Amino acid sequence: MVYSVLPLCAQSTDGDVDRTPQIHGTLRGKYEYQTEDDKGRFEVRNARVSVSGKVIEALEYKAEVDLCDEGKIKMLDAYARLKPVTGLSFTIGQMRVPFTIDAHRAPHTQYFANRSFIAKQVGNVRDVGCILGYRFNVGIPIVLEAGLFNGSGLTEQKDYWTNSVNYSAKAQIMLPQGFNITLSTQKIKPDNVAVSLYDIGTFYHGHGWHVEAEYLLKHYSDDAFRNVSAFNAFVNYDIPLRKCFFRKVSPLLRYDYTGDHSDGKRYLDGGVSEDGELIINDYRRSRITGGVTLSLAQPFISDIRINYEKYFYREGAVPKTSEKDKIVIEFMTRF
């Protein structure tokens, strides 16, 4: 009787588990030329290395470090994941929070050389905490994820204590014929103001096409800053090539937008200060990005991404140094 009600106590098959660590890496080097400034630069955008594997059948792990994230070394993923029964998982450690479609993409799965505003400025969060995930099928596959996080980010864990936690939740609905709907919400508190984010996105992937659209709303409590809307939409079409150095060529086009955006921290005289107030960190702007991706053959997942970005700022906006019209040529390889 005990065995019939306790599936977690089923006979182990851990002797058959392959415990060999899997080593992966992503390298992205690029050249950018800003037409307005008549200036260019070379940059190593990412040099990521990860190790992952299994300890037992029900316990996985991953550790990933970026040796050159815009010139800085950053520890990214460092977590253990328990899978006690089919479909259920519990992850604890440091990771990207479950939120949005585009912000959750790894560098080797991005479609464009530079991320959307949603992925880079508005909805980009990595943190320390735990996630409970459940995957099931009701005629269509559904993936649910919900997590609690410190709110400390990646570098301020040692002496960080809090009487509140951040949360994030995400639902992915895998519809037939390559369609997907993703709903997610998140609450963060970068400073003394709670910020709530709501995101809805959808995409179609099939027959060589990937068509995607996503909308994000960011709300600051106590009217500390006006609501921020962000939008991202793009289309990509893969054209297979035969008897060619490249495996496929993919023309693609994107439109993205963000309103005046605050990161949720108080500033005074150019620095973070408890005596300051929320300010505009990213001015309202939209952007059209067009280009082509040239994909090389296996065993490496390797792309050459050629993009042109055209920015449109509101009147009175001050563009950041690297947020201007530009031509980008990027080489990405994944091993």
Q: What is the pLDDT of residues 8-56, one digit of tens each?
A: 555 455 668 889 999 999 999 999 999 999 999 999 999 999 999 999 9
For the residues 105-130, what does the mean pLDDT come to? 92
Least confident of 64-73, 167-176, 308-317: 64-73
Residue 186 counted as domain residue: yes
Q: Quick one: pLDDT at residue 2?
A: 42
Q: Is the residue at 134 inside a domain?
A: yes
Confidence category of residue 7, pLDDT binned at 50, 70, 90: low
Provide the pLDDT for residue 97.
92
* pLDDT over threshold 80, residue 79: yes
List, for residues 228-237, the tens digit of each pLDDT value. 999 999 999 9
Distance of CA 214 to the CA centre of its chain: 13
307 pLDDT higher than 70: yes
In-domain check, residue 4 = no
Q: 3 pLDDT exceeds 50?
A: no
Is the pLDDT at 102 greater than 70? The verdict is: yes
Residue 158 — very low, low, confident or very high, per pLDDT cuts 50/70/90?
confident
**271-272, strands of its sheet edge to edge:** 271-272, 266-268, 277-278
Of 253, 263, 206, 208, residue with least CA distance to 232: 253
| 87 vs 162 pLDDT, higher one | 87
Task: Report how far Cα 86 is from the mean position of its chain's Cα atoms.
Answer: 26
Is residue 153 very low, low, confident or very high in pLDDT (cuts 50, 70, 90)?
Answer: low
Residue 302, token pair as written in the block: 């390797």
Domain assignment present for 25: no
User: What pLDDT shows up at residue 68?
Assistant: 87
Three-state SS annotation for 35-81 = CCCCEEEEEEEEEEEEEEEEEECCEEEEEEEEEEECCEEEEEEEEEE
Asked whether residue 286 carries a pLDDT value surpassing 70, the answer given is: yes
The CA-CA-CA angle for residues 286, 288, 291, to 5°, reads 155
CATH of residue 191's domain is 2.40.160.10
Q: Examine the pLDDT at 198 and tell me if it is beyond 60.
A: yes
For residue 11, being part of any structural domain is answered with no
For residue 165, name the pLDDT band (cuts at 50, 70, 90).
Answer: confident
Averaged pLDDT for residues 251-271: 94
At residue 209, the pLDDT reads: 97
pLDDT band, residue 169 (cuts 50/70/90): very high
Average pLDDT over residues 76-105: 94
> What is the span of the domain harbouring residue 290?
85-334
What is the Cα–Cα distance from 201 to 210, expressed in whole angstroms?
A: 13
Between 73 and 71, residue with greater pLDDT: 73
Instruction: Of 3-7, 10-14, 20-24, 305-309, give the lowest mean pLDDT range.
Output: 3-7
- The rounded percent of the chain whose pLDDT value lies above 90 is 78
Q: What is d(CA 314, CA 286) in angstroms, rounded to the nearest whole number?
A: 9
Q: Is residue 15 one of the residues assigned to a domain?
A: no
Residue 6 scores a pLDDT above 70 = no
| Measured distance CA(55)–CA(183) in Å, rounded | 33
DSSP strands (E only) in 83-178: 88-96, 126-137, 141-149, 166-174
Residue 4's pLDDT band, with cuts at 50, 70 and 90, is very low
At 118 the three-state DSSP class reads: helix
Looking at residues 128-151, what average pLDDT do you find? 95
Is 16 inside any structural domain? Answer: no
User: Considering only CA atoms, which of 102, 200, 192, 184 is closest in space to residue 147?
Assistant: 184
Residue 220 Cα to chain centre, angstroms: 22
Task: Count up the domains in the chain and report the number.
Answer: 1
Identify the pLDDT of residue 221: 94
What mean pLDDT comes out for the span 206-213? Answer: 97
Asked if the model's pLDDT at residue 62 lies above 70, the reply is: yes
Q: Which residues touch 266 (CB under 8 Å, ≥6 apart)?
A: 191, 192, 272, 273, 274, 275, 276, 277, 278
Stronger pLDDT, 19 or 163, i.e. the higher one: 19
Query: Is residue 60, in this structure, part of any structural domain at all?
Result: no
Average pLDDT, the chain: 91
